[in-house]
Amino acid sequence: SLRTKESVVDVLIIGAGPAGLMAANAFVKAGISVRIIDKRSKKVEVGQADGIQPRTLEVLKSYGIAERLVQEGNRIYLSSFYDPSPEGGLKLSGRAAANTKLSQKGRYPYSVTFHQGLIEDILIDSIHKEGLEVDRSLQPTAIELNENENEIESDESYPIKVFLRSLDSAVGENDTEVVKAKYVLGSDGAHSWVRKELGITMDGEHSNYVWGVVDTVPSTNFPDIRNRCLIHSLEGSMMIIPREHDVVRLYTQLSDEDAQEVIDVKGRVDLTKWGPERLLEICKTQLQPYEITFPHEIRWWALYIIGQRVASAFSKHGRVFIAGDACHTHSPKAGQGMNASMNDSHNLAWKLAYVLRGWADRKLLETYEFERRKYAKDLIDFDRKWAKLFSGKPRTEQNKDGVSHEEMFKAYETFGGFTSGTGIQYAPSLITNTTFQHLASELAIGTRMPPQTIIRAADARSFELQDLLPSDTRFKILIFAGDLHVETQKSALEDLVMAATSEAGFLTKYGSRGRKDSGWATVFDILTILVDAKEKVDYTTVPEALRPHWSKIFIDDEAISECRGGNAYKNFGISHNGVVVVVRPDGYVGMIAPLDGTEDINKYFAGFMKLVTVKN
Ligand code: FAD
């Protein structure tokens, strides 16, 4: 017999891969009512994506969940480039920092590699602690979105109905469920059911590359087996990714002829045609004159087809969203898959939380597609250029038009900020205002707040600035107040406090949510960073209204015996006249204003925030 139950939730997430789990983690930590379902009965155990880039590490750290990856994962510091040697076989053309110059300024000067299963584990453990589980063996069969404008725009409405069917025979396959939701996130992978139901098309090339990948523990005399390698051989191109313990991932792009052999009439890879042994044979040939054998079990292998495509839209009516592989697919060469996916969710989560709490206007949600679709398109452009260089025949005496090491290396350097994630810059929008960029010339508005050591004034303890910007959904107001021993700076700071806390000031207008006496601390966190020295500073000179706690006042000075810190103003290009830096809840610089620019900050928040309605 058919039994139907009904349930209600604010956000329903369909698909518990990296994108879905990241979103679930952010929502549950933000106290949002959320449910996450997946059709699989268990998570990925081995294989699939395996690279976590420096920016993603920073993001995971901001949620307090990077530690296990950093400790247990493999770290890649160097990339090695191999090209054909005139004497035959391969030669080492050069080695370079795996995350290039940009991210060396970054917090993590390495990528971490570990199979996708661990990353999913970390996120699953994290949501578990908050009392949320993945609802498995559940598949959606239909989605209905009420397109009536009032329904779409109302904060109270639940305009979406998703019909679920259990795939678990113990529960009974006849059981169905109707979930009423305010918002739905489709993080259901490259073949996204949600995307198809919404009628969203994928734009881009339909030519597909076939990649072969094997995870195993090899035995070899190749000296770069523990570095990331880009190998251009006369026998084709391959990539080596060192992994946790002694595991190594070998990637090879199939030649057109080989690709023909493994693709069936429907254009899908037929895994019965080839085994991993065939891939290992190819790798052996490409690596000559070095020897490599495979005495251990194959942990995971795959042949998979990738098109370079971006979804034509990332949402329907700002009610149903898609994220991750559902929005973009590309080759694994730059190791972006999981990173792009998790960062989509990181971008969306705080925006949706603000709207659901009634703090922000729904137009804030439009910035998700604006920012992440542009990023996805850039990613695909990059992937195309990189794929061309990577798959091109190497330059040799006989083939002068081939790809040279210099070309490859230059592209590698150019794209470094992009692939490490630390160089990503969101364009001007409602939440990214570049008017006062000149006041902090080295702190690009729209990029993530870079790492910097600062010293707490009260006790001279050193802190990494990024650790003071957790993903707790609050805006961080960084007041670089200059030197308070200078009378004009002191009065400029006092004026700022007066303006920001006045009736018309942003702290009052958008800060005190809920009860009148709750203050602005639910929405804003304020850190003051002074020009001063440990031996001279007196944190009590900062007006009390700006220091709910002694721990919020810092100085730009060197850490005691740590060889770090100092030069924050210089590194950001900020003069001793000071500035205010508004950091968005996702860690990106949203705006910069002069100390007397409260009016501009008020306007920035007026662009998307709703006025506080005080409940006494
Ligand atoms: P996914 O990880 O695909 O997660 C989607 C989730 O949604 C899955 O758990 C799935 O079960 C669930 N789901 C799908 N449809 C439904 C539905 N209708 N109802 C309910 N749940 C549903 N990337 C690399 O960088 N390197 C690699 O070597 C690599 N190899 C890969 C090999 C394979 C076989 C696959 C499939 C992917 C590979 N990728 C690789 C890509 C990488 O795994 C993705 O970029 C990354 O996992 C994207 O995360 P996601 O959460 O968007 O999607």
pLDDT at residue 367 in the model: 98
Is 495 known to be catalytic? no
pLDDT at residue 401 in the model: 87
Report the CATH number of the 4-73+114-204+309-363 domain: 3.50.50.60
pLDDT at residue 616 in the model: 43
What is the best residue among 48, 179, 303, 380 to mutate for testing ligand 1's pocket, by most ligand atoms within 8 Å of CB? 48
pLDDT at residue 383 in the model: 82
pLDDT at residue 92 in the model: 96
Average pLDDT over residues 23-37: 98
What's the one-letter identity of residue 62?
A: S
pLDDT at residue 404 in the model: 87
Per-residue pLDDT of 486-505, as tens digits, reads 999 999 999 999 999 999 99
Question: Does 432 score more than 80 pLDDT?
Answer: yes
Nearest CA to ligand 1 atom 32: 48
pLDDT at residue 22 in the model: 98
pLDDT at residue 518 in the model: 64
Please tell me the distance between residue 164's alpha carbon and the centre of ligand 1 in angstroms. 20
Please tell me the distance between residue 126's alpha carbon and the centre of ligand 1 in angstroms. 20
Nearest CA to ligand 1 atom 36: 48
Residue of 63, 82, 251, 588 marked catalytic:
251
Question: Does 147 score more than 60 pLDDT?
Answer: yes
Average pLDDT over residues 19-37: 98
Residue % of the chain over a pLDDT of 90: 72
Is 55 known to be catalytic? no
Please tell me the distance between residue 561's alpha carbon and the centre of ligand 1 in angstroms. 46
Is 121 known to be catalytic? no
User: Among 93-107, 417-431, 572-586, where is mean pLDDT lowest?
Assistant: 93-107
Nearest CA to ligand 1 atom 2: 17
Nearest CA to ligand 1 atom 23: 49
pLDDT at residue 418 in the model: 75
Question: Does 523 score more than 90 pLDDT?
Answer: yes
Rounded CA-CA distance 463/460 in Å is 9
Q: Are 598 and 499 in contact (CB under 8 A)?
A: yes
Atom of ligand 1 nearest to the CA of 325: 52
pLDDT at residue 206 in the model: 59
Average pLDDT over residues 391-417: 83
Question: Does 415 score more than 50 pLDDT?
Answer: yes
Atom of ligand 1 nearest to the CA of 193: 18
Please tell me the distance between residue 189's alpha carbon and the centre of ligand 1 in angstroms. 5
Question: Does 613 score more than 70 pLDDT?
Answer: no
pLDDT at residue 66 in the model: 96
Q: Are 339 and 423 in contact (CB under 8 A)?
A: no
pLDDT band at 516 (very low <50, low <70, confident <90, very high): low
Residue of 18, 38, 50, 83 marked catalytic:
50
Please tell me the distance between residue 326's alpha carbon and the centre of ligand 1 in angstroms. 9
Atom of ligand 1 nearest to the CA of 18: 51
Rounded CA-CA distance 40/167 in Å is 9
Question: Does 614 score more than 70 pLDDT?
Answer: no
pLDDT at residue 359 in the model: 94
Q: What is the mean pLDDT of the chain?
A: 91
For 223, the 3-state DSSP assignment is: coil
Report the CATH number of the 209-306+392-420 domain: 3.30.9.10
Beta-carbon contacts of residue 266 (< 8 Å; ≥ 6 apart): none
Rounded CA-CA distance 411/187 in Å is 31
Per-residue pLDDT of 99-142, as tens digits, reads 755 444 678 889 999 989 999 999 999 999 999 999 999 999 99
Please tell me the distance between residue 423's alpha carbon and the centre of ligand 1 in angstroms. 25
Residues with CB under 6 A from ligand 1: 14-20, 37-40, 48-49, 116, 139-140, 187-189, 193, 213, 302, 304, 324-325, 332, 335, 337-338, 341
What pairing do the DSSP bridges indicate for beta strands 111-113 and 74-76?
antiparallel
437-606 classified as CATH 3.60.70.12: no
List the beta bridge partners of residue 530: 482, 555
Per-residue pLDDT of 240-261, as tens digits, reads 999 999 999 999 988 888 988 8
Residue of 218, 332, 394, 450 marked catalytic:
332
Nearest CA to ligand 1 atom 52: 324
What is the best residue among 338, 342, 345 to mutate for testing ligand 1's pocket, by most ligand atoms within 8 Å of CB? 338
Please tell me the distance between residue 231's alpha carbon and the centre of ligand 1 in angstroms. 27
Residue % of the chain over a pLDDT of 70: 95
Nearest CA to ligand 1 atom 45: 337
Beta-carbon contacts of residue 406 (< 8 Å; ≥ 6 apart): none
Rounded CA-CA distance 211/218 in Å is 19
Radius of gyration of the chain (CA): 26
Please tell me the distance between residue 303's alpha carbon and the centre of ligand 1 in angstroms. 14
Average pLDDT over residues 418-439: 94
Beta-carbon contacts of residue 386 (< 8 Å; ≥ 6 apart): 331, 333, 334, 411, 415
Please tell me the distance between residue 187's alpha carbon and the centre of ligand 1 in angstroms. 9
Q: Are 481 and 530 in contact (CB under 8 A)?
A: yes
User: Among 160-164, 461-465, 559-563, where is mean pLDDT lowest?
Assistant: 559-563
pLDDT at residue 456 in the model: 98
User: Among 27-36, 43-52, 278-287, where is mean pLDDT lowest?
Assistant: 43-52
pLDDT band at 517 (very low <50, low <70, confident <90, very high): low
Atom of ligand 1 nearest to the CA of 323: 52
Query: What are the phi and psi torsion angles at 222 (to 5°)?
Result: -75, 120
Per-residue pLDDT of 550-572, as tens digits, reads 999 999 999 998 888 999 999 99
Nearest CA to ligand 1 atom 31: 48
Question: Does 355 score more than 90 pLDDT?
Answer: yes
DSSP class of 300: E
Per-residue pLDDT of 223-241, as tens digits, reads 999 999 999 999 888 999 9
The domain ranges of the chain are 4-73+114-204+309-363, 209-306+392-420, 437-606
Is 215 known to be catalytic? no
Long-range residue pairs from 520-523, CB within 8 A, at least 24 positions apart, any chain: 521/474, 521/548, 522/474, 523/359, 523/474, 523/475
Nearest CA to ligand 1 atom 44: 337
Atom of ligand 1 nearest to the CA of 337: 45
Mark out the alpha helices in 67-165 (DSSP H runs).
67-72, 100-104, 116-129, 149-153
For 494, the 3-state DSSP assignment is: helix
Please tell me the distance between residue 415's alpha carbon and the centre of ligand 1 in angstroms. 25
Nearest CA to ligand 1 atom 34: 48
Nearest CA to ligand 1 atom 40: 49
pLDDT at residue 103 in the model: 44
- Looking from the CA of 376 toward its CB, the CA atoms found within 13 Å total 33
Residue of 55, 107, 243, 372 marked catalytic:
243
Per-residue pLDDT of 57-79, as tens digits, reads 999 999 999 999 999 999 999 99
